[in-house]
Structure 1
Amino acid sequence: MNNIISAVGFCNRTGKGDLSVLDASLREIAETGADACEIGVYAEEIISGGRIIEDRMLRVADIVRRHTFKKLSLHGQILSNFMDREHLHLQKKVVRAMLELCDRLGAGILVHHSGAGQLASGENGADLDRMEREALAEMGDVAKGYGVRIALENIFTTESGQYRQTPSEVAATVKAIGSDNVVALIDFSHAYIESTYRNLDFLEELRAMAPVTGHLHVHDSFGLPYSMTRFYHPAEATALGIGDLHLPIGWGDISWEDIFSTLTFLPDTTLIMEINAERFGDQQPACLERARRLAAMQRG
């Protein structure tokens, strides 16, 4: 590794909420030789009404201690959304609890999805941007107290009429907040899909994000928006190449070497492959090897 990308690993496969697969899923990642792990803590029923359930937290802490990773990150709620006016107070309670979990479990990053919403009458995108920035700045102060960074992840448009920031606009949000504890997270497949949907220059969108990016989500796709959504098995979407496929590196058509040889991210960035063992365990070793070669292209 180097001082730009300091660790490479995988996200764990999530269970049904009873912690039954957590230990095995972390062991699977450790056995690949990865030195980073991202835990989908949102799926483990540890937070209730914005409060940490102590006995569950202690069980999770015991499981996490069994595995030695150089870098640990937690993935917050999939529906995390600081543009959700109706539920903003609840959203912030959960993020506060997640940040405490990061501190107690030794995770340096909390992944938080960038916001989205339907514009109300008389409302514009700037109103939602402002709401999100104010909430992120507030949570950034909380994160600072724990020595944790919030990584704001770019997401693609998911429904008609939705207000959603482009990757470059996510970067602008991070810059406007101006906190060392709020960084951008590039999800390359998400950026590819949104660039296709909006007819944007994919590489230019990545260039805008890179200088404020401290966390990476790597998985392959063909950048095709969901022109259809009914599949009887995930492999059918793979065969068609449609959507956010979370494929092994090289199964899609993202030009990984071109990207990593061109862009430079923030120091101490972690690269997490969202390519889990449930579908692609046999592909993880080759993906890890290639991801480490990509990381080596970064020179600080």
Structure 2
Amino acid sequence: MVSNGVRGIGISAHKRAHDLSDFGAELDMIETLGVDSIEIPTFDLDLVVGGKIRRPQLEALLRACRGRDVLYSVHGPLAINFMDEAWRHQRHFEVLKASLEVAAEVGAQHYVMHSGLAPRQQAGGIEAAYDRQREALSRAGDMARQHGLILCVETLFADFKGDGYASSPKRLAQELAMIGHDNVMATLDFSHSYLKLDFDGTREAFVAEIAAIAPHAVHLHMHDSFGRQDDIWMYTEGERLAYGHGDLHLPVGWGDIPWQALMSECTFPSGVVFNIELNQRYWYAAEECVAATKALAGTARTVSREIAA
């Protein structure tokens, strides 16, 4: 564990068998990497069915997770979207409620959910979507508090077709400040942010944008990319790698994210977790990626977070 206010270095697990019968072996393998925490991809483990927890599947997950000397975080369903139209919010909340209960039973501390996405539209429509999201995240923060969880809202990019909208890191930071809820913080995904800003033509503002959200980012998603649009037809994933296109989830150091500048300019909350999200294709470089992430975490600056009573 890093001693400069960083809570730990983690990595996201991958599902093997659909019935989770070998998920324990996945966690065994991850523990050999010497990480402090493991992120559980509950969005893809068949744990919630129609908004309800499937208990036998949850018990299989809990058997795999019990008795390990690691912290846990959980990445919930990616489809939960509080910028969505209001009439769909109840369905999103049903899935969120069950997913938070799963995270609590696992013993997670951070629950990762994506920030909102909306169709690209005139400003009034976008601002109305932000209004919906603020109200919903405040309510979701109350739910998270009941389970002893911190809701970590992840930075995103929309798409590369030009018809979607996602928050910039700085705008998401402003929204979280307006919400002002101790249990609603950020997951800073560096590569997602890089892709978002490059698409918008504001790549030069990347470090400043990241510095703006860093004080809210108690959870980090560490993976590399080149921040380039995935706008050319590719035959294989290897070709996407050759071109450096898209959300590649590369080992840290393989892309051109300016990691050293980010560590120099950013201040994170004390207790921040550096969680690696590595494409399974590049798992052969996991040890290299963990070492690079530990080195970066060792240079990170943190500040204590004031928690309201």
Asked if 2 retains the 8 angstrom alpha-carbon contact of 1:219 and 1:246, the reply is: yes
SS in 1 for 2:267: coil
Give me the whole-angstrom Cα distance separating, in 1, the residues matched to 2:121 and 2:200. Answer: 22
SS in 1 for 2:18: coil
Aligned residue for 1:79? 79
Q: Does 1:224 align with 2:228?
A: yes
Asked if 1 retains the 8 angstrom alpha-carbon contact of 2:75 and 2:112, the reply is: yes
1:234-273 mapped onto 2 (5 Å cutoff):
234-273=237-276
Unmatched segments (≥5 aa) in structure 2:
303-309
Give me the whole-angstrom Cα distance separating, in 2, the residues matched to 1:79 and 1:255. Answer: 30
Aligned residue for 2:96? 95
Asked if 2 retains the 8 angstrom alpha-carbon contact of 1:46 and 1:57, the reply is: yes
State the 1:194 CA deviation. Answer: 0.9
CA-to-aligned-CA distance 1:103-135 (integer Å, 9 cap, x gap): 111000111001111267895211000111111
Give me the whole-angstrom Cα distance separating, in 1, the residues matched to 2:301 and 2:82. Answer: 34
Aligned residue for 1:195? 197
Give me the whole-angstrom Cα distance separating, in 1, the residues matched to 2:77 and 2:273. Answer: 19
Asked if 1 retains the 8 angstrom alpha-carbon contact of 2:112 and 2:151, the reply is: yes
1:48-127 mapped onto 2 (5 Å cutoff):
48-69=49-70, 71-85=71-85, 86-118=87-119, 123-127=124-128
Number of aligned positions between the proteins: 297
Query: 2:155 is aligned with what amino acid?
Result: N
Aligned residue for 2:44? 43
Question: Which deviates further from its counterpart, 115-124 or 165-174?
Answer: 115-124
CA-to-aligned-CA distance 1:150-195 (integer Å, 9 cap, x gap): 1000111214222221111111111111111010111000111111
The equivalent position to 2:184 in structure 1, one of 172, 175, 182, is 182
Question: Which deviates further from its counterpart, 114-123 or 205-214?
Answer: 114-123
Asked if 2 retains the 8 angstrom alpha-carbon contact of 1:16 and 1:44, the reply is: no
Give me the whole-angstrom Cα distance separating, in 1, the residues matched to 2:301 and 2:206. Answer: 22
Aligned residue for 2:284? 282
SS in 2 for 1:26: helix
Give me the whole-angstrom Cα distance separating, in 2, the residues matched to 1:197 and 1:178. Answer: 29
CA-to-aligned-CA distance 1:50-79 (integer Å, 9 cap, x gap): 11111211111111114321x211111122
Give me the whole-angstrom Cα distance separating, in 1, the residues matched to 2:174 and 2:220. Answer: 17
Asked if 2 retains the 8 angstrom alpha-carbon contact of 1:27 and 1:67, the reply is: no
Give me the whole-angstrom Cα distance separating, in 2, the residues matched to 1:219 and 1:32. Answer: 16
TM-score where L is the length of structure 2: 0.91
CA-to-aligned-CA distance 1:82-106 (integer Å, 9 cap, x gap): 1121422111111111111111110
Aligned residue for 1:213? 217
SS in 1 for 2:270: coil
The equivalent position to 1:164 in structure 2, one of 166, 173, 188, is 166
1:109-148 mapped onto 2 (5 Å cutoff):
109-118=110-119, 123-148=124-149
Question: Which deviates further from its counterpart, 188-197 or 230-239?
Answer: 230-239
Asked if 1 retains the 8 angstrom alpha-carbon contact of 2:51 and 2:95, the reply is: yes
Give me the whole-angstrom Cα distance separating, in 2, the residues matched to 1:156 and 1:238. Answer: 19
SS in 2 for 1:124: helix
Q: Structure 1 residues 166, 52: closer, same or farther in 2, change over 3 A?
A: same
Asked if 1 retains the 8 angstrom alpha-carbon contact of 2:263 and 2:301, the reply is: no
| CA root-mean-square deviation | 1.7
Aligned residue for 2:307? none
Give me the whole-angstrom Cα distance separating, in 2, the residues matched to 1:196 and 1:211. Answer: 22
Percent pairwise identity: 32
Unmatched segments (≥5 aa) in structure 1:
none
Query: 1:47 is aligned with what amino acid?
Result: V
Question: Which deviates further from its counterpart, 23-32 or 38-47?
Answer: 23-32
SS in 1 for 2:46: coil
Give me the whole-angstrom Cα distance separating, in 1, the residues matched to 2:19 and 2:68. Answer: 19
Give me the whole-angstrom Cα distance separating, in 1, the residues matched to 2:53 and 2:118. Answer: 28
Asked if 1 retains the 8 angstrom alpha-carbon contact of 2:47 and 2:53, the reply is: yes
Question: Which deviates further from its counterpart, 285-294 or 211-220?
Answer: 285-294
Asked if 1 retains the 8 angstrom alpha-carbon contact of 2:268 and 2:301, the reply is: no
TM-score where L is the length of structure 1: 0.94
SS in 2 for 1:297: coil
